[in-house]
């Protein structure tokens, strides 16, 4: 069954940027149009920290160890995946799409899969493990067509 039929949505995300697209043509000549863009600014770790890492008591007398600092980039990307899953749920629940293709690096795909509601997962027709967020739409169309239909 063709994957990129008319009306199929495509989510292209990388943890910092997401494009919600809709195919307005067909699987032979996809015509993707932008439905929504989301972007978050990932700050450097130094912007999050205003002091040295905390310290905690150790087992030995008078000994203290530094506490591990959080990976703020990973936390921000995880929260972004949460937000994308919520947006997808609202669109799916509102009947905006019946089919969707997810395109993201494998780590982001995994986070999305873990956070998506069944209403959305039931509509996923394909997943592509690539980062296409910085490609122009006509290149995305070509790449998706090749990826989803190897005979093309």
φ, ψ for residue 40 (rounded to 5)? Answer: -130, 150
Model confidence, pTM: 0.80
Region 9-42+69-148: CATH code: 3.30.420.60
49 has a pLDDT exceeding 60: no
Residue 95: CB atoms within 10 Å: 7
90 has a pLDDT exceeding 80: yes
151 has a pLDDT exceeding 70: no
Name, in order, each residue with C-beta under 8 angstroms of 128's C-beta and a sequence gap of 6 or more: 101, 102, 103, 104, 144, 147, 148
Instruction: Name the percent of the chain lying above pLDDT 70.
Output: 78
The confidence score (pLDDT) of residue 42 equals: 62
Does residue 68 or residue 90 have the better pLDDT? 90
21 neighbors 103 (Cβ within 8 angstroms) = no
Q: In what order do the strands lie in the sheet with 32-39?
A: 32-39, 17-23, 9-13, 100-103, 124-128
pLDDT band at 130 (very low <50, low <70, confident <90, very high): very high
Does residue 49 or residue 69 have the better pLDDT? 69
Residue 151: CB atoms within 10 Å: 4
97 neighbors 87 (Cβ within 8 angstroms) = no
Whole-angstrom distance, CA of residue 96 vs CA of residue 8: 10
Whole-angstrom distance, CA of residue 84 vs CA of residue 16: 11
Element (H, E) at 21: strand 17-23
């Amino acid at each position: 069954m063709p994957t990129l039929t008319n009306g199929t949505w495509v989510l292209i995300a990388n943890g910092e940027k997401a494009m919600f697209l809709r195919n307005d043509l067909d699987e032979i000549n996809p015509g993707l149009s932008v439905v929504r863009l989301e972007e978050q600014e990932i700050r450097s770790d130094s912007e999050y920290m205003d002091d040295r890492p905390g310290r905690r008591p150790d087992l030995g007398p008078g000994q203290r160890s530094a506490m591990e600092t959080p990976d703020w980039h990973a936390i921000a990307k995880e929260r972004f995946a949460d937000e994308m899953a919520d947006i997808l749920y609202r669109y799916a629940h509102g009947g905006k799409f019946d089919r969707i293709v997810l395109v993201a690096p494998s780590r982001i795909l995994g986070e999305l899969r873990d956070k998506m509601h069944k209403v959305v997962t039931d509509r996923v027709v394909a997943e592509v493990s690539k980062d296409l967020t910085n490609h122009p739409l006509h290149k995305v169309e070509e790449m998706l067509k090749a990826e989803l239909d190897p005979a093309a």
